[in-house]
Structure 1
Amino acid sequence: MTPVHDAAARGYRSVFRVREFRPVFAAHLLSVLGTVVAEISLTVLVFRTTGSPLMSALTFALGFLPYALGGTLLAGIADRRPARRVLVACDLLCAACAAAMVLPATPVAGLLALRCAMAFVAPLFQGTRAASLADILGPGEAFVLGRSLMRMVAQSAQLIGFGLGGLLLTVLAPRAAIGLTAAGFLGSAVLLRFGTRARPARAAAATRTSPLAGLRAVFAGRRLRLLTLLCWLPPVFFIAPEALLAPYADGIGAGTAALGVMMCALPVGTIAGELWAGSVLSARARSRLVARLAPVALLPLLVFAVRPPVPVVLAALLLAGLAHAYGLGLDQWYVDAVPEALRGRAMTLLSTGLMTFQGVGMALAGLAAEFAPVHTVVTGAAVVGTAVVVLLLAALRSAGRGSAERGPRNETGPATK
């Protein structure tokens, strides 16, 4: 089936009319749920085995630490190898790692090594899948909506995945639950192998470059560098309230129930914002929304300056989440700026940076909170983050005026096709 053209793509239902997208979406759902179940089950298993909170926390952290290394070293594979082959291989590797975790003879060190291996290939899988969406749906509006659906599945996993994982562990031992993870990855591999068609690699296998050369190739153009920074840097500041909600709740005397509700507010707002933008707005309106929403997205967090009560915090986090609706327009800007031959590599590096910079943001927020009150840290993150976004958008306008690489553009970014 041919990709959906922009003129015909209106709303999320049109994306599901593309036959190849349906198995890709189902595979994504299986792999996300499998990853969430693995994270909570493995953390519980290591804690029960060692009795060490440090080892339990390290198990969770190992889902993030190898990410930057894997994304940097493996990014070139996304363009040098056929996408379906890469995706199926990553799923099979993760399934094998999860199956090895199930074995009673696997020691704690082995469990941690297997966790690292799964995290190491995750950015390659995510980048290759994002690039293949542009092949399946076309690089226009349908791609933006498909990518948005993938993001919302991941956000929803934060809301319900850990809760379901906790319930699962009340009836299954941790190793048995990890067995379901292996089955999920196997199911994803089957769906991708038989539900999508084979396509050739974007770049010849002979064009092998070093990871550093790959980074230079992707970021050679000023516009693409700026767009990448606009994707990477705002999460550094958006993550601050989430990273510090526990100490903030304790400081204002809120209980654990209130903390749980506050933790859900930002992802709920994000999902609602994306649904609204994807269902109601046209591609041109979403593109224009970037310049209008991105500079103000962090401003609701300024209410932390007065140490507000729980209802005000909920409202601020929901508003900040809703403002993430600009992400759909930013996705279109980004895919328009990436040369097709580098699309897999660029998407892999983009997802790698997103995960890495969120981790950096968490660490910086925690470090700052050692020296300043939590509400001050969150307020400062909102101020600095807003300034960063405004500067990046101004630089993009300047780059747009100084470049005629892709023809006419709107006032802040690439013209919507």
Structure 2
Amino acid sequence: MSLSASIRRTFSALSVYNYRVFWLGQLISLSGTWMQTIAQSWLVLQLTNSPSALGFVTMLQFLPITVMALFGGVLADRLPKHRVLIITQSSAAIQAGILAILVISHHVQLWHVYVLAFCLGVINSIDNPTRQAFVVELVGPDKLANAVALNSMLFNSARIIGPSIGGLMIGWLGTGGAFAANALSFLAVILGLLIMRTDEFVAVARSPRGRVLTQVAEGIKYAFSHSDILLVLLLMACLGIFGYNFTVMLPLIDKYILGAGPEVLGILTSAMGVGSVLAALAVAYAGKARVGVMLAGALIFSFSLLLVGVSRLYPLTLLGLFILGFASVTFSSNANTRLQLLAPDHLRGRIMSLYFLVFAGSTPFGGVIVGSLSALIGVSLTLQLMAIICLAGTLVAILFVYIRLQRNAERKAESLVGVGGSSSDRRSLDA
């Protein structure tokens, strides 16, 4: 295959106009979001010099997701997603603007950061399930795997650009400048939503109105009755609680293991982002989601987290974070795509809200665990313990898949014997 054909295959979803304007707007906006993530963590450490306070603000930001994400999934299945996203993105811009004004005017206090972090969590609990489920309406099921991988590349490209600029901006203009830049960056995604061609959206079945709690229960029941979906969600819960708390881990690594400053924090985050982007490109080119690749990503993620935990050398930490980023996107992109393809249209918002719940809604618990243990036993030992737990969860998932494959093989053999050699269909674990 020629280079140009490979590029077209890797970026095929960008040929769709609505997805293209959405993707470009998100690239700018998410870069600003990463600036704010770095700035918020640094601001908390400036105000308190406390790992526990950093864990607490992370808990407050993600706690609404734990409580409200499933309701956000119901809204995503009921309401026009395009309209909901305009509202949520505008609300997030206002939140960032208020934080910028407080910092620049020198009136910011720790409780301000806590309250605004909680407000952002409320916004994200509705925005993220809606945004995840919206992708299939932009590109259709045939390009969904490619679009999800490009979304991962988008997220992690922003992880490279945002922290690098954010770290420099904090050094030059202070945290207030980073918050102001994030507020302005939301204009790009809002404009992208406004100029979309709504008549080109792919039609999907919408959930009928009904009792909210009943519809939440319907989504949960569907997930628990389908083992392929449940496997992904349980593994993501394990890695989400104990491994994906990057907003807490990276500032702690920077300050308490390497003894560096905000500029190095941006470089650490960017090293992780480079690995993530390369993984997203590989997944986008493949265009498929496979359970074996997903499990391999989780396994490498666990070992690379352990490497970061034991490292005391800056270059080795950078290498560990690069591998960590590559593995995290390999796992999460395959997990996300599998769920979207396995979920029926009228339940996709609720299934993706469960994914978001275990991916981000578990962060309050993980953030508090990481922050509290870091204060108690040190950052390095905490990361090593988290890595061992992630590894144990991954090995259990691998064992489950192996046992299931063995049982499927036995059933196939029995079927061949029973029908005199005719074959029966084998249920594949691949989406």
TM-score bracket for the superposition, by shorter chain length: 0.7 to 0.9
Is this contact kept in 2: 1:99–1:179, CA < 8 A? yes
Aligned equivalents of 1:32 and 1:362: distance in 2? Answer: 21
For the pair 1:213 / 2:217, whether they are aligned, the reply is yes
Is this contact kept in 2: 1:81–1:201, CA < 8 A? no
Pairwise mapping of residues 138-217 of structure 1 onto structure 2 (< 5 A)?
Answer: 138-140=140-142, 142-165=143-166, 181-197=182-198, 202-210=205-213, 212-213=216-217, 215-217=219-221
**Greater mean alpha carbon deviation, residues 212-221 or residues 83-92:** 212-221
> Which residue matches 1:3?
none
Pairwise mapping of residues 105-144 of structure 1 onto structure 2 (< 5 A)?
Answer: 113=115, 116-140=118-142, 142-144=143-145
What residue identity is the alignment partner of 2:317? V
For the pair 1:274 / 2:274, whether they are aligned, the reply is no
> Which residue matches 1:70?
68
Relative to 1, partners in 2 of residues 1:220 and 1:382: Cα closer, same or farther, differing over 3 Å?
A: closer
Relative to 1, partners in 2 of residues 1:241 and 1:151: Cα closer, same or farther, differing over 3 Å?
A: closer
Is this contact kept in 1: 2:298–2:327, CA < 8 A? yes
Is this contact kept in 2: 1:80–1:203, CA < 8 A? yes
Residue 162 of structure 1: CA displacement?
3.7
For the pair 1:328 / 2:325, whether they are aligned, the reply is no
Residue 95 of structure 1: CA displacement?
4.0
Which of 319, 338, 347 is matched with 2:343 structurally? 338
| Secondary structure of the structure 1 residue equivalent to 2:243 | helix
Residue 78 of structure 1: CA displacement?
0.3
Q: CA RMSD in A?
A: 4.3
Is this contact kept in 1: 2:343–2:351, CA < 8 A? yes
Relative to 1, partners in 2 of residues 1:173 and 1:81: Cα closer, same or farther, differing over 3 Å?
A: same
Residue 176 of structure 1: CA displacement?
8.0
**Greater mean alpha carbon deviation, residues 368-377 or residues 227-236:** 368-377
CA offset digits 1:347-391 (Å, max 9, x no partner): 233223311224433332333344545444333332321121121
Aligned equivalents of 1:145 and 1:330: distance in 2? Answer: 13
Is this contact kept in 2: 1:27–1:187, CA < 8 A? yes
What residue identity is the alignment partner of 1:151? S
Pairwise mapping of residues 219-368 of structure 1 onto structure 2 (< 5 A)?
Answer: 219-223=223-227, 224-239=229-244, 243-244=248-249, 255-256=260-261, 261-279=267-285, 281=286, 283=288, 288-303=292-307, 309-324=313-328, 325-368=330-373
Pairwise mapping of residues 7-26 of structure 1 onto structure 2 (< 5 A)?
Answer: 11-26=9-24
**Greater mean alpha carbon deviation, residues 58-67 or residues 265-274:** 58-67
Which of 381, 398, 412 is matched with 1:393 structurally? 398
Is this contact kept in 2: 1:91–1:189, CA < 8 A? yes
- TM-score, normalised relative to structure 1: 0.76
**Greater mean alpha carbon deviation, residues 21-30 or residues 102-111:** 102-111
**How many equivalent residue pairs?**
399
Is this contact kept in 2: 1:127–1:345, CA < 8 A? yes
| Secondary structure of the structure 1 residue equivalent to 2:198 | coil
Relative to 1, partners in 2 of residues 1:397 and 1:311: Cα closer, same or farther, differing over 3 Å?
A: same
Relative to 1, partners in 2 of residues 1:242 and 1:37: Cα closer, same or farther, differing over 3 Å?
A: closer
Aligned equivalents of 2:130 and 2:90: distance in 1? Answer: 15
**Greater mean alpha carbon deviation, residues 200-209 or residues 102-111:** 102-111
For the pair 1:379 / 2:387, whether they are aligned, the reply is no
Residue 21 of structure 1: CA displacement?
0.7
Is this contact kept in 2: 1:300–1:319, CA < 8 A? yes
Residue 81 of structure 1: CA displacement?
0.7
Relative to 1, partners in 2 of residues 1:273 and 1:40: Cα closer, same or farther, differing over 3 Å?
A: closer
Residue 346 of structure 1: CA displacement?
1.8
Relative to 1, partners in 2 of residues 1:185 and 1:293: Cα closer, same or farther, differing over 3 Å?
A: closer
Aligned equivalents of 2:249 and 2:172: distance in 1? Answer: 32
Is this contact kept in 2: 1:27–1:191, CA < 8 A? yes
- TM-score, normalised relative to structure 2: 0.74
Is this contact kept in 2: 1:9–1:15, CA < 8 A? no
Q: Which one has a larger percent helix, Structure 1 or Structure 2?
A: 2
Aligned equivalents of 1:313 and 1:143: distance in 2? Answer: 34
| Secondary structure of the structure 2 residue equivalent to 1:207 | coil
Residue 143 of structure 1: CA displacement?
1.6
Relative to 1, partners in 2 of residues 1:359 and 1:112: Cα closer, same or farther, differing over 3 Å?
A: closer
**Greater mean alpha carbon deviation, residues 155-164 or residues 70-79:** 155-164
Relative to 1, partners in 2 of residues 1:202 and 1:101: Cα closer, same or farther, differing over 3 Å?
A: farther
Residue 178 of structure 1: CA displacement?
5.5
Which of 28, 31, 34 is matched with 2:29 structurally? 31
Residue 282 of structure 1: CA displacement?
5.3
Residue 303 of structure 1: CA displacement?
4.2
Is this contact kept in 2: 1:37–1:178, CA < 8 A? yes
Aligned equivalents of 1:290 and 1:25: distance in 2? Answer: 24
Aligned equivalents of 2:41 and 2:159: distance in 1? Answer: 16
Relative to 1, partners in 2 of residues 1:132 and 1:251: Cα closer, same or farther, differing over 3 Å?
A: closer
Is this contact kept in 2: 1:64–1:355, CA < 8 A? yes
Q: Structure 1 stretches of 5 or more lacking a match?
A: 1-7
Residue 197 of structure 1: CA displacement?
1.5
